[in-house]
Structure 1
Amino acid sequence: MPRRTPRTALDRLRTSRSLLGFLKTASVCVLVAGLLSPLTQTAASAAGATAANDYCGGQCSDILPPGENGNATLAQILLNQAFGTQPAHAEDQLGPYAGLATGYSALTDAKINTFFDDASFGVPSDQVASSEKPAGRGDVTIVRDKKTGVPHITGTTRYGTEFGAGYAAAEDRLWLMDVFRHVGRGQLTGFAGGAPANQGLEQQFYRNAPYTEADLQAQIDNAVAGNGARGQQALADVKAYLDGINAYIDASDSGRYFPGEYVLTGHKDAITNAGTIDHFKVTDLVALASVIGSLFGSGGGGEVNNAVSLLAAQQKYGVEEGTKVWESFRERNDPEAVLTVHDGESFPYGTKPADAQGEALPDAGSVTEEPLVYDRTGSAATASAKGTSADAARTTLSSARRGMSNALVVSGKHTASGHPIAVFGPQTGYFAPQLLLLQEIQGPGISARGASFAGLSMYVELGRGQDYSWSATTSGQDIIDTYAVELCQDDYHYLYHGTCTAMEKIEQKNAWKPTVADGTAAGSYTMRAWRTKYGPVAYRATVGGKKVAYPTLRSSYLHEADSIIGFQMLNDPDYVKGPKDFQSAAQHINYTFNWFYADSQHTAYYNSGDNPVRASGVDTEFPVWARPAYEWRNWNPATNTADYTPSSAHPGSVDQDYYISWNNKQAADYTTASWADGSVHRGNLLDDRVKKLVAAGGVTRTKLVQAMADAGLADLRAEDVLPKLLKVVNSSAVTDPTVAGAVNKLQAWLNAGAKRTETSAGSKTYADADAIRILDAWWPLLVKAEFEPGLGSDLYTAFTANAPIDEAPSAGHGPTGSHAGSSFQYGWWSYVDKDIRAVLGEPVQGGLARTYCGGGSLGSCRDTLTGTLKQAAGLTAAQVYPGDDQCSAGDQWCADSISHRTLGGIKHGKISWQNRPTFQQVVEYTSHR
């Protein structure tokens, strides 16, 4: 049953004349019906206290902003748009989450649940808000707690348990789930309207996974067939989960309390209730999984861009020297990089071969991206002319693609209690509603609480079991390769093993009508993908004058559903009883993730993903010829399966003194697909702090949370690079008063800790605001002045395409876009650090092939830095923070602020910047089974 509308909203409806005037356009009777028609859930008379299967001793906490409830009726949406009224539990976790930024310094163990929620199993009887038997079933109960409204699902049968999970998911995220099953099929615009953001979103994912319905079904069949009894159980779980979703669709439709977005997009009539909400089917979940896997679980695919920048380097310096320069900027195995597995063990993967074989580098200037969209009409043609579709995609979900996750895990040897402590979680971006949902599931073979992606919540994907917790960060090792297929006959035939073979044309035709939701005119277009046996075509070029297509092959392509088995194992208390079991479960997840584990005795880490075994001599950084000699070992194009590296070759560890991860390098010799993974990385912000805690001993939950929060407010450039820059500037040699004043402000900020923090909670004004403004202005100026003269404009531009120069919180041009929270993952801080140290004559391991600042002269470098610093200091706040659709020019706090991007009808307010996971756990188990 749905939740009762908050009394405050109903009172405002009854008393506000202005609202009643507004309601005439939406129909007063419909809106009141939307408010009043849901039946109130009955409060449970009793519920268990601390669950008998909970071994955390009240020391497990979690949080997921903005709130658990992601569904809203039409009435609630209109009230929110007009007055900011929030449905119950729509944003009640946002305030505590935001409050940690100013509250962490005074944190104690007793105060942790001021900023987090109690993640104990069960709901105390005095905290039960409601209890329901979905669809009248006797084998499952959904209890929601008063504080957060999180569903606690308890089933006496496996079917009933999963039915309840599906029903609860639909209660909390039905509209979002519907959006994403359409995104995964490239059908969003036809479903939700032709807004530029919708166009960009469906194009982004269709390019990577242009699946047919048969492809989606085959993935389910293969995942089940290849996993025996567990595969059969997974299919049964999915079907029960779908039955629960569909039961809620039917109930909400007949009760007229379905999400209001269905009315705003024309799928339901607010007056007559005409129209339908389509039931979910098995292939919908595969489409959903393909979106999530593409966002968070795949690394690589940059081979063509790498080749373009390599050619630019060779054009500038010659082949030999240009290759050295390129390799130094690539930093594929930098000896100064911070590591997750830091015990000295090596895990070679993706290393540079001594003699590369089969490379198929494009001719300079010949690369073109494969067009995706054809036959634009109406608003689609308008969006194309304005160039808004791709930009819109970058500012919605693509911001989550690179804004990832972190983990801090400390062994019991170094804690005050003797039990391990973990503070960890995924950074999935900030959306309204959130992509994840919270739940507890208790039933035969399942016992877990935590977060799951909406529509895939038949199991908890990140969270806790009875006596253990687990979490993940995106790892980004390279599981995507680009092949050069030689064309024959025409542009749509290619040579496959010597035979001229036709490409497969996959099309998705989309047309949309004007909707209230997006306000755009009608339009249409066709998305067209050309598939080869080596995957969908991404680029075209010539190689040695021969016309080629460049398709990309991903090991998880056509295998989006395979990971379900690993998640099933993680939820099974009979399977996971210790760190080795946890690692075994994680091995069944084919997406590229770093997995972390903690119980009362042990910690563990494992890097997952289907890492293909490549042919000898193949360099993973560049395209290779599509020939048997260079294919993955034992690759079967019909099923896209191959030999994969064994689990022992994946970075893994048990009971290391501590683990940190912020999407940094996993282990020695293990190459990620990320550029600039070198001496300065945001992982250093965690490593430096946790290393100090471990050295001092007596680590507590409070201290580890504080380390995370402190790192989450630090400006990486200021903490790790600015001191070296100021050393070159040398304040004693500065004579210009503008530069001297800027240096003094920057040094004072450094002395105060170099944080981007408010003067006080809610002030919306930064302490050290001038110093922050100066560095924000200075960084892009100094990087360009430091490197472009030596690299030349062509190579500098090519390298910035591989690695953007900056990702400060206010840098809307960076990979995450503006107002996205996650910052400092990608940038040129390592390059600047190594180059400046070389100028200073300090030791550098894995340095750049050349010295760039001032041509290597300390005096000339000082002139470069002081000149750009003076320029930066003279820029006004309005020039540094030019404003956007959410902030006025010059509003520094607002430029940094986190905004929840709307994926539905409900909006939320901004919060102050923090660089931390979206869903986060704080755990310290006191006992074990």
Structure 2
Amino acid sequence: METQCKISAQVEEHPDRQKVLIQGLENPVEIIVDLWGVPHIYASNKYDVYVGQGFQAARDRLFQIDIWRRRGLGKLAAVLGSKYVDQDFANRQFLFRGDQRTEWLSYATDAKDIVSAFVSGINAFIAWALESPETRLPQEYAILDMKPEIWNPEDISKIRTHGLLSNAEQELQRALTIRDLGREAEGFRSAQVPDGTRFDVEDAGFEALDDQTLKVYWDAFAPVEFSNRGEIGESEISGSNNWVVAGDRTETGRPLLANDPHRVISSPSLRYLAHLNAPGMNVIGAGEPHLPGISIGHNEKVAFGLTIWGADQEDIYIYDLHPDRDDQYYYNHSWEKIEVVEESFAVRGAQDVVRELQFTRHGPVLDIDVENRKLVALRAAWLEPGMSPYLGSLEFQSSEGAEEFRRGLRRWGAPTVNMNYATTDGEIGWQACGLIPKRNGWDGSAPVKGDGSFEWGGFVYGDDLPRDINPGQGWFTTSNQFNIPEDYQSNGMTYSTDWASDARHEVLAEWLKEDTAVGLSKSIQMQSNVKNVHAVRLLAKLSKVQPNRHSDVWRELQLWDGQETADSKTALIYQVWETRHFRPWLVDLALSELGLAVQEDSAARKRLLRQETPMADIRPEFQMLANFDFEEADIVEIFNEGIGETLSHALHEISQRLGQNQQDWVWGDLHQLKLIHPVLDSLDSDASNNLFKPIKRGGSGDSVGMSGYDIDFNVVVGSSFRMNLDVGNWDECVAINMPGQSADSRSQHFNDLLPLWNSDDVFPLLFSREAIEESAKLRIDLIPESESFYE
């Protein structure tokens, strides 16, 4: 979209105190913004505090949350034009369309009141900003010539496509790999967890599938792109670490809890820090800016942090299409009619577009293959009532003890998470959370027939999911790895066969086993640890290899300790060699052992290469190497030649990228974070230039301090938010949220936290009123203009 609007990049100067008259309040609300941009919101009742949270979230993140809402509701084309119609269509396909009363009561008895208050605060800021849009609205609105819309409470509950949900993508990739290459080759693409798992895969009509079967699903979960570079939104790419340590294993004698969620690193940040204080409620931490409440943080008694737990909440169904009618599918010995919902999509600068949404009894239609007479649809637990991602935190965030906290977790539906917690009484624990389908006689690892043979038999949730209260070792840590206890009785739940690499967990567990006096400073350091234990293990498996070329480089790799620091030459060589050259060579060798010759550019081979995922899981390499006996001289000779060849290619690629002088080569010169402003960086203006400089980073997708990279080695995944909590000594807790709390480039809090983050540093997450007053930067008084919405 073209615009002649000029952009100011100057810092916005706020007075020390502001007063704003707004609707929706019963009593005045005070917001104290501290030196690091964290708002501390004080109210005389809990609904007013949510009005304040909504107002302040909009003040700092209005354009971000506005785009989140438009994307989720399928209303982007109305303001951005016709190229967004497909994305709008996809998001409408995955809206919650069930009973709203059941939906609200699933979270908390007063969930609707809370969300209504939060939305009232957002709308109050919008009304205030529209009184003087040139100075109060974010610049993006002028650039794109658009205005924010008023929110409804149901907007938040209906949108589901911002969650980290699984495992439809794995099902499709698995089915295609098995169809094209056979079951054994699937082990070259994805690790089977736990070891020895045999996938329960029956060909349900895989000929109807292709690499675009999930296109409408991907469109729904895709971020909003404003240019070839800038985007707002989320991705399903994820990973996280959290750990909790009992008081008898810490320096202070108090429990310690740490959390660093890994998501796509973006500007603005995915998460937003806030402090909510009202009678019966005093909670601080991070949530997503478009949602009320706190999902990662602490109150006066309980600290809590989460990572994704890889349970399976999705299934792909393949149906037979009627031989003569494209609107009917086969189910339970009869033909059922596809449900059709006709919806209109407003399009900026053009006429409205009318399209049909299609559904089977199980869920949204993904694809119809008329030629093969097949229909593909998705059943998703997250389309059930009470599954709006992260909204379940409303029930537990103000818990006064461990038992009340665990009861509150019963309301959590999506995404499935590992929730670690610690209390001021000294209890620590882990609880898996989410709503997980029961699959009787099948495991959900691949698409199944939709004829009624593969139905869910209810759900497992709450207390029936695995937990560990006061673990005997005095600590518990999760990094998305498989962690279901051997003695766990699943009660019919088929949790998953797809779990993240255990490389990060292995490093953390080794540290926590050895460190009997864990301190806050060491915990902070561990969140930036860049050791890659899987890289060391892979090289050890190849220790008998003596390549016929570049023996000096190979010796350097063999002696390497796996530390992927930004100034490491060896880390650079390893990453380029393994992901870009050794892996393709090994895949081709392993396939040849199966008697398979696969074209270099084939889709089947690309699935095994996994070069477009930032998560760097090399467990498939271990599974491929297990097929070769390195005690046999001819095998060693094959690898001598292959590793020499792939090292040559890797060194050539690095020289092309970084120059011929190997003495100057370091990992951080190639592996960099290049933050992009989603809108300003699409413009040719002074304000759009140099908002962010490239940042050299260590680590990879297999290190605790995750820095997963894309196909060009740009860092795209990591922990933009980190938190370390000294449980009970709340003013000593620390956090970071980069690039800053505000998404407005005119604000002093737009990127003020980026230098701290880049140096792996933190700021104090202040909790007491006294400490907050000492660090106050700005005060905002919200004054009621009329009676509260809930009276």
- Per the normalisation by structure 2, the TM-score is 0.75
> Does the alignment pair 1:547 with 2:336?
no
Structure 1 residues without counterparts, runs of 5 or longer: 1-23, 28-77, 90-127, 268-275, 315-322, 337-349, 374-382, 515-521, 634-642, 760-765, 807-812, 817-822, 843-853, 882-889
Query: In 2, Cα distance between the equivalents of 1:194 and 1:855?
Result: 62
> Does the alignment pair 1:706 with 2:525?
yes
Tell me, yes or no, if the aligned pair for 2:106 and 2:411 is still in contact at 8 Å: no
Match of 2:563 in 1: 754
Match of 1:718 in 2: 535
Residue 221 to residue 902, structure 1, CA distance change in 2 (3 Å): farther
SS at match of 1:400: coil
User: What is the root-mean-square deviation of aligned Cα atoms in Å?
Assistant: 4.0
**Structure 2 residue identity aligned to 1:721:** L
Match of 2:640 in 1: 862
Residue 697 to residue 391, structure 1, CA distance change in 2 (3 Å): same
Match of 1:3 in 2: none
Query: In 1, Cα distance between the equivalents of 2:427 and 2:372?
Result: 57
Displacement after TM superposition at 1:173 (Å) = 1.3
Displacement after TM superposition at 1:154 (Å) = 0.9
Residue 224 to residue 693, structure 1, CA distance change in 2 (3 Å): closer
**1:110-153, CA deviations, whole angstroms, 9 ceiling, x for partnerless residues?**
xxxxxxxxxxxxxxxxxx95465652857242333341222111
Residue 160 to residue 262, structure 1, CA distance change in 2 (3 Å): same
**1:433-456, CA deviations, whole angstroms, 9 ceiling, x for partnerless residues?**
222211100113432111111221
Matching residue within 288, 311, 316 for 2:179: 311
SS at match of 2:429: strand
Residue 626 to residue 782, structure 1, CA distance change in 2 (3 Å): closer
Tell me, yes or no, if the aligned pair for 1:163 and 1:243 is still in contact at 8 Å: yes
Query: In 1, Cα distance between the equivalents of 2:275 and 2:533?
Result: 37
> Does the alignment pair 1:249 with 2:129?
no
SS at match of 1:440: strand
Match of 2:762 in 1: none
Alignment of 1:259-658 (within 5 A): 259-267=138-146, 277-287=148-158, 289-293=159-163, 296-300=164-168, 302-314=170-182, 323=183, 326=186, 330-335=190-195, 359-362=202-205, 364=207, 367=210, 369=212, 396=231, 400-456=235-291, 458-488=292-322, 489-506=324-341, 510=345, 512-513=347-348, 528-540=356-368, 547-559=373-385, 566-572=392-398, 575-578=399-402, 580-591=403-414, 592-600=416-424, 601-614=426-439, 616-633=440-457, 643-656=458-471, 657=473, 658=475
**Structure 2 residue identity aligned to 1:280:** W
Displacement after TM superposition at 1:665 (Å) = 1.4
Displacement after TM superposition at 1:368 (Å) = 7.7
> Does the alignment pair 1:896 with 2:667?
no
Query: In 1, Cα distance between the equivalents of 2:389 and 2:238?
Result: 22
Residue 397 to residue 691, structure 1, CA distance change in 2 (3 Å): farther
Tell me, yes or no, if the aligned pair for 2:168 and 2:315 is still in contact at 8 Å: yes
Percent identity over the alignment is 17
**Structure 2 residue identity aligned to 1:332:** Q
**1:689-729, CA deviations, whole angstroms, 9 ceiling, x for partnerless residues?**
4423432411211222222211xx3346533322323x032
SS at match of 1:184: helix
Structure 2 residues without counterparts, runs of 5 or longer: 660-664, 681-687, 698-704, 707-717, 731-791
Query: In 1, Cα distance between the equivalents of 2:230 and 2:193?
Result: 31
Matching residue within 138, 155, 163 for 2:51: 163
Query: In 2, Cα distance between the equivalents of 1:371 and 1:688?
Result: 35
- Per the normalisation by structure 1, the TM-score is 0.65
Matching residue within 123, 148, 158 for 2:36: 148
Query: In 2, Cα distance between the equivalents of 1:672 and 1:132?
Result: 51
Match of 2:760 in 1: none
Displacement after TM superposition at 1:774 (Å) = 4.6
Match of 1:814 in 2: 612
Tell me, yes or no, if the aligned pair for 2:310 and 2:498 is still in contact at 8 Å: no
Tell me, yes or no, if the aligned pair for 1:537 and 1:552 is still in contact at 8 Å: yes
Query: In 2, Cα distance between the equivalents of 1:558 and 1:201?
Result: 22
SS at match of 1:870: helix
User: Which fold has the larger relative contact order, with Cα–Cα distance below 8 Å and residues 6 or more apart in sequence?
Assistant: 2
Tell me, yes or no, if the aligned pair for 1:163 and 1:244 is still in contact at 8 Å: yes
Q: How many positions carry a matched residue from both structures? A: 676
Displacement after TM superposition at 1:874 (Å) = 3.3
**1:786-833, CA deviations, whole angstroms, 9 ceiling, x for partnerless residues?**
43423424499666665x545xxxxxx5234xxxxxx43xx3x11222
Tell me, yes or no, if the aligned pair for 1:665 and 1:672 is still in contact at 8 Å: no
Query: In 2, Cα distance between the equivalents of 1:868 and 1:156?
Result: 66
Tell me, yes or no, if the aligned pair for 1:409 and 1:421 is still in contact at 8 Å: yes
SS at match of 1:644: strand
**Structure 1 residue identity aligned to 2:393:** F
Residue 284 to residue 565, structure 1, CA distance change in 2 (3 Å): closer
Match of 1:909 in 2: 693
Alignment of 1:65-80 (within 5 A): 78-80=7-9
Match of 1:873 in 2: 651
Tell me, yes or no, if the aligned pair for 1:301 and 1:482 is still in contact at 8 Å: no
Query: In 1, Cα distance between the equivalents of 2:12 and 2:161?
Result: 28
> Does the alignment pair 1:240 with 2:117?
yes
SS at match of 1:423: strand
Residue 504 to residue 199, structure 1, CA distance change in 2 (3 Å): same
